[in-house]
């Protein structure tokens, strides 16, 4: 007995039938969407695949990567020389096209839009039963010109599955889209600062980031132990007059200078490459559960609120604990940053980087985590602030935080590259206060209930009061 169901011809036939079924379902779904909008008299209708990652808060026209060209006698798309020019943003603008793919916006205020339809096809339609071609024919018959606009980068679309592909491949495609959205986030880059000699940290972080599908650019940190007096003089580096570590009363260390220069190099690259938004992380952090999801949600909420920001801590040690920090209106899980330690991780805008570099800190240097609070005018030592004008950096912090240190002072495995080096102006004087004097690197102390940032948190739900299985 022949096994036609498992023959190559049989599989092709099954695949073709399945493809037709999927197309019929898609056309009917889109027809229902446009008909429902016309009944409700909405001014606009956007068609966005559910799995798309919309990276721009002003979705006005359509996502890039649509087809630009001509249609042949069967209605199929035929590329023209303009296709790659527009797709690769070598030509910017709005261009008339015969059809668009996946995502578009319809102006329902125009009377002609009433004649647009996915189903049933126009009475004169004889081409292949395909949602894109059916709609393009409908648009042509209604006298409506389609346009593609690539003036903005609106987001990402997963690649549609081919008939022979599996659901697992669809999931992998979706993960890839999320990676792209995370690593770019609307012209946003992710930098990880790492000392070349700290391969263990680099390997651990890359593995951790890999598991979260996060791509980073590794920035080779400036090694304070390798700095010499001649280099400091060549760069005109001087310690801020009167600076002393708040716990040990020691002056600036070369390790702290190296840390500052490492972050400074990132700020310079942000400016040189005109990166609108950038995420910076150090190599000794641990991520909170669902880090990527929470960060993307926070940044989306910030975009929707059109918040004017220049620095956002995602990891820090909060030093002002007498009263709560001010919650940001219309953005849950965000506060205006008060005096803070650590530069574990933060988002920075192009304008923020310009302010930090423009402060010309080399001739009045102090640790980078003391410098940042000065720049947003929250440092408690007035004498330090006098050296920097203006101090108007717009700084915020995630609440709760999204990353924390892997180790704290006194814990096994703790090691500070900033404190175990030498005094900034005397390489013969070693520093090694981290194990006994480094209160700065100790874990965040308990914050009194009256000082907690509760106003920045979402209201509790009934589920919050139900103990989880692990708590029973």
Q: Please confirm whether the linkage preceding 369 is cis (ω < 30° from 0).
A: no
| Whether residue 230 is found in the same domain as residue 311 | yes
Most confident region among 20-34, 142-156, 234-248 by mean pLDDT = 234-248
In the block, tokens 């249609």 appear at 71
Average per-residue pLDDT for the chain: 78
> Residue 2: inside a domain, yes or no?
no
| Whether residue 223 is found in the same domain as residue 281 | yes
Instruction: Supply the pTM of this predicted model.
Output: 0.59
Q: Who contacts 82 (Cβ-Cβ below 8 Å, separation ≥6)?
A: 68, 69, 91, 95
| Whether residue 197 is found in the same domain as residue 118 | no
Is the confidence at residue 435, as pLDDT, over 50?
Answer: no
> Residue 42: inside a domain, yes or no?
yes
Q: What is the pLDDT of residue 130?
A: 77
> Residue 57: inside a domain, yes or no?
yes
Give 212's pLDDT tier (boundaries 50, 70, 90).
confident
| Whether residue 227 is found in the same domain as residue 139 | no
> Residue 446: inside a domain, yes or no?
yes
Q: How many folded domains does the chain comprise?
A: 2
Is the confidence at residue 412, as pLDDT, over 60?
Answer: no
> Residue 6: inside a domain, yes or no?
no
Residue 229, both tokens: 């007096």
| Whether residue 395 is found in the same domain as residue 436 | yes
The mean-pLDDT minimum among 147-151, 297-301, 316-320 falls in 147-151
| Whether residue 104 is found in the same domain as residue 219 | no
| Whether residue 238 is found in the same domain as residue 191 | yes
> Residue 176: inside a domain, yes or no?
no
Is the confidence at residue 186, as pLDDT, over 60?
Answer: no
Phi and psi dihedrals of 278, rounded to 5?
-140, 145
> Residue 216: inside a domain, yes or no?
yes
Given 140, 156, 172, which residue is the final one in a domain?
156
| Whether residue 142 is found in the same domain as residue 229 | no
Q: What is the pLDDT of residue 108?
A: 79
> Residue 467: inside a domain, yes or no?
no
Q: What is the pLDDT of residue 265?
A: 97
Query: How many angstroms separate the CA atoms of 362 and 348, rounded?
Result: 20
Query: How many angstroms separate the CA atoms of 270 and 368, rounded?
Result: 17
Quick one: what percent of the chain has pLDDT higher than 90?
40
Give 32's pLDDT tier (boundaries 50, 70, 90).
low
Q: Which domain holds residue 122?
A: 16-156
Given 135, 156, 177, which residue is the final one in a domain?
156
Q: What is the pLDDT of residue 260?
A: 97
Is the confidence at residue 210, as pLDDT, over 90?
Answer: no
Is the confidence at residue 231, as pLDDT, over 80?
Answer: yes
Q: What is the pLDDT of residue 81?
A: 77
User: Residue 415: which CATH number?
Assistant: 3.90.550
Query: Secondary structure of the chain in the HEC alphabet?
Result: CCCHHHCHHHHHHHHHHHHHHHHHHHHHHHHHHHHHHHHHCCCEEEECCCCCEECCCCCCCCCCCCCCEEECCCCCEEECCHHHHHHCCCCCCEEEECCCCCCEEEECCCHHHHHCCCCCCCCCCCCCCCHHHHHHHHHHHCCCCEEEECCCCCEECCCCCCCCCCHHHHHHHHHHHHHHHHHHCCCEEEEEEECCCCHHHHHHHHHHHHHCCCCCEEEECCCHHHCCHHHHHHCCCCECCCCCCCCCCCCCEHHHHHHHHHHHHHHHHHHHCCCCEEEEEECCEEECCCHHHHHHHHHHHHHHHCCCCCEEEEEEEECCCCCCCCECCCCCCEEECCCEEEEEEEEEEHHHHHHHHHCCHHHHECCHHHHHHHHCCCCCCHHHHCCCCCCCCCEEEECCCCEEECCCCCCCCCCCCCCCCEECCEEEEECCCCCCCCHHHCCCCCCCHHHCCHHHCCCCCHHHHCCCHHHC
| Whether residue 149 is found in the same domain as residue 190 | no
Give 131's pLDDT tier (boundaries 50, 70, 90).
confident
Is the confidence at residue 409, as pLDDT, over 60?
Answer: no
Q: What is the pLDDT of residue 384?
A: 97
| Whether residue 136 is found in the same domain as residue 272 | no
| Whether residue 330 is found in the same domain as residue 398 | yes
Is the confidence at residue 54, as pLDDT, over 60?
Answer: no
Q: What is the pLDDT of residue 286?
A: 92
| Whether residue 297 is found in the same domain as residue 425 | yes
């Amino acid at each position: 007995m022949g096994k036609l169901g498992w023959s190559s011809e049989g599989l092709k036939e099954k695949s073709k039938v399945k493809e037709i079924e999927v197309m019929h379902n898609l056309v009917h779904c889109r027809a229902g969407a446009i008909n429902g909008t016309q009944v409700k008299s909405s001014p606009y209708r956007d068609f966005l695949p559910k799995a798309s990652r919309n990276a721009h808060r002003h979705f006005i026209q359509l996502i890039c990567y649509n087809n630009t060209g001509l249609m042949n006698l069967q209605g199929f798309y035929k590329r023209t020389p303009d296709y790659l020019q527009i797709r690769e943003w070598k030509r910017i603008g709005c261009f008339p096209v015969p059809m668009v793919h996946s995502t578009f916006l319809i102006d329902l205020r125009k009377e002609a839009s009433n004649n647009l339809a996915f189903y049933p096809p126009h009475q004169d339609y004889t081409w292949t039963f395909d949602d894109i071609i059916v709609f393009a024919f409908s648009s042509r018959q209604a006298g409506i010109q389609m346009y593609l606009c690539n003036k903005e980068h609106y987001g990402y679309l997963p690649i549609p599955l081919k008939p022979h592909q599996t659901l697992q491949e669809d999931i992998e495609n979706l993960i890839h889209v999320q990676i792209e959205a995370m690593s770019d986030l609307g012209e946003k880059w992710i930098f990880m600062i790492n000392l070349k000699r700290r391969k263990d940290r680099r390997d651990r972080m890359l593995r951790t980031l890999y598991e979260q599908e996060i791509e980073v650019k590794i920035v080779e940190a400036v090694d304070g132990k390798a700095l010499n007096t001649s280099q400091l003089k060549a760069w005109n580096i001087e310690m801020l007059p009167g600076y002393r570590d708040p716990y040990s009363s020691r002056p600036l260390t070369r390790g702290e200078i190296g840390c500052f220069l490492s972050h400074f190099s990132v700020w310079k690259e942000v400016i040189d490459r005109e990166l609108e938004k950038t995420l910076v992380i150090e190599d000794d952090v641990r991520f909170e559960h669902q880090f990527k999801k929470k960060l993307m949600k926070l940044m989306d909420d910030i975009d929707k609120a059109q918040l004017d920001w220049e620095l956002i801590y995602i990891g820090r040690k909060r030093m002002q604990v007498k009263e709560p920090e001010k919650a940001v209106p219309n953005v849950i899980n965000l506060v205006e940053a008060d005096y803070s330690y650590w530069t574990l991780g933060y988002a920075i805008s192009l304008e923020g980087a310009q302010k930090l570099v423009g402060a010309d800190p080399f001739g009045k240097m102090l640790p980078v985590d003391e410098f940042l609070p000065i720049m947003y005018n929250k440092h408690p030592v007035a004498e330090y602030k006098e050296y920097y004008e203006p101090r108007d950096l717009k700084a915020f912090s995630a609440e709760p935080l999204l990353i924390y240190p892997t180790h704290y002072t006194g814990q096994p495995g703790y090691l500070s590259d900033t404190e175990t080096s030498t005094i900034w102006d005397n390489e013969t004087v070693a520093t090694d206060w981290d194990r006994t004097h480094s209160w700065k690197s100790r874990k965040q102390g308990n914050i009194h209930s009256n000082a907690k940032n509760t106003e920045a948190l979402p209201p509790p739900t009934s589920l919050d009061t139900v103990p989880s299985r692990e708590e029973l």
